[in-house]
Chain A
Amino acid sequence: MEDRAGVVDEFRIAVDGVYLSRAGRPVFQGLSCGFVQGQITVILGESGVGKSTLLRLIGGLTRPDSGAVRVAGEDVARLRHADLYRLRDRIGMLFQYGALLDSMTVAENVALPLREHTDRSEADVSAEVDRRLAAVGLSDVGSLYPRELSGGMTRRVALARALVTDPEIVLCDEPFSGLDPLNVRRIEKLLVGLNRELGLTMLVASHHLASSMRMAHRIVFLTDGRAVTAAPEDLARSGEPAIVEFLDAERGAEGPADRSGA
């Protein structure tokens, strides 16, 4: 499967001919890819290839040198401050290490978007926070500070916070990195469940092959400043040398459990 430059209308999120350099080094050279509404798309690739950067482009945290980044029809790269912030109401982002505010408790962290953007009463907010924390399997941690949580718990709290205003798009930056298999499964189940129940459009940047293959409706593989898009089953058959190399290496690391096709 090839990247589909130019066909940008049917995608909820579309990256169109983006060039980006960092410190003189090119990161994206004419990157084009699309993300379908309601699907889980995993952004795959080796470390440092630009998966997090792609998410940041979509969230408007980084501007490309040239090209367009369209989210729900609006070019994020060209939005004014106020409009960008308005658009972000519809996006939730789960950062690699949670990015919870360390000066506030878990409950205050999850409540923050509600307190800032809605007029709901304190009792209402409190109840909502409890609900959301319970939904990620964490019910008694409200009064703890982020530094008192384990990595897995931090991620789940961050997920609760990202979802608390019911966004339609969720960006996840390496949600599985550094976690034990049990927590990986937990989070994977949460994400898949949310997608099924709520039809959320999810973009997951990851280099964890096994869960990616299980979760993804589509895979966007980043290599050499470009993107190759395919369904998970078709990835091995794509013939792209970088992909083959990647799959072999990852399979070697994770064990021979997931061989698909020759």
Chain B
Amino acid sequence: MQPSPVRDFLVGLFVLAGLGALAYLTFQVGGLSWRGNGGLTVYAAFDDVGGLKQRSPVSISGVKVGEVSGVELDELLRARVVLELDGTLEVPADSAARILTSGVLGDQFVALEPGAEDDILQSGDEIELTESALSIERLIGRFVNDAGLKEE
């Protein structure tokens, strides 16, 4: 083919457009920036994680700030959850982590409630105050129990 500047320009444009689309999908839509910002990795141990799983969201005041990247058992046979958070956050070291349900029957997520200390969480730190997931069975069991106790 005769070298044609028009064709070459169009090819270049095509490649740029394609890469641009890919970049948009990767960063804007796919949210790759979690790791990109030098993510903050913290741990929290719970008695019962309920339906919490990998990629479950982590939020503060209702705003998504990270994800659950793994759940394992620790030496005390409690569930140790690994939280990957946005690296630009400054979260007080005495914050609490609760496992809540989105809506009534929705997916479960970790809600962080900020504490009052000046010290902030660093990567590798452990969140001390944790509240496990509520399970419907236990709730009903407690209600029935309480109701039963009342009648006696």
A residues whose Cβ falls under 8 Å from a Cβ of B: 103-105
Contacts and interface: CB of A to CB of B under 8 A. Distances in A.
A104 B2 CA distance: 7
A103 B1 CA distance: 6
Interface of B: 1-2
Nearest to A145: B2
A38 B121 CA distance: 90
A103 B2 CA distance: 9
The prevalent SS among residues of A at the interface is loop
Contacts of A104: 1
A-B pairs with the 3 shortest C-beta distances? A103-B1, A105-B2, A104-B1
A236 B36 CA distance: 88
Nearest to A143: B2
3 contacts: A103-B1, A104-B1, A105-B2
Contacts of A105: 2
Nearest to B2: A105
A105 B4 CA distance: 13
A205 to B, nearest CB: 33
B49 to A, nearest CB: 62
A48 to B, nearest CB: 37
A258 B85 CA distance: 97
Contacts of B1: 103-104
Contacts of A103: 1
A16 B1 CA distance: 43
A69 to B, nearest CB: 36
Nearest to B1: A103
A58 to B, nearest CB: 33
A118 B1 CA distance: 20
Contacts of B2: 105
A104 B3 CA distance: 11
A104 B1 CA distance: 5
A105 B3 CA distance: 11
A105 B1 CA distance: 7
A112 to B, nearest CB: 13
A239 to B, nearest CB: 56
B4 to A, nearest CB: 13
A244 B58 CA distance: 96
Nearest to A103: B1
B95 to A, nearest CB: 67
A20 to B, nearest CB: 38
A105 B2 CA distance: 8
Nearest to A104: B1
A43 to B, nearest CB: 36
A103 B7 CA distance: 15
A155 to B, nearest CB: 24
A211 to B, nearest CB: 37
B47 to A, nearest CB: 69
A198 to B, nearest CB: 32
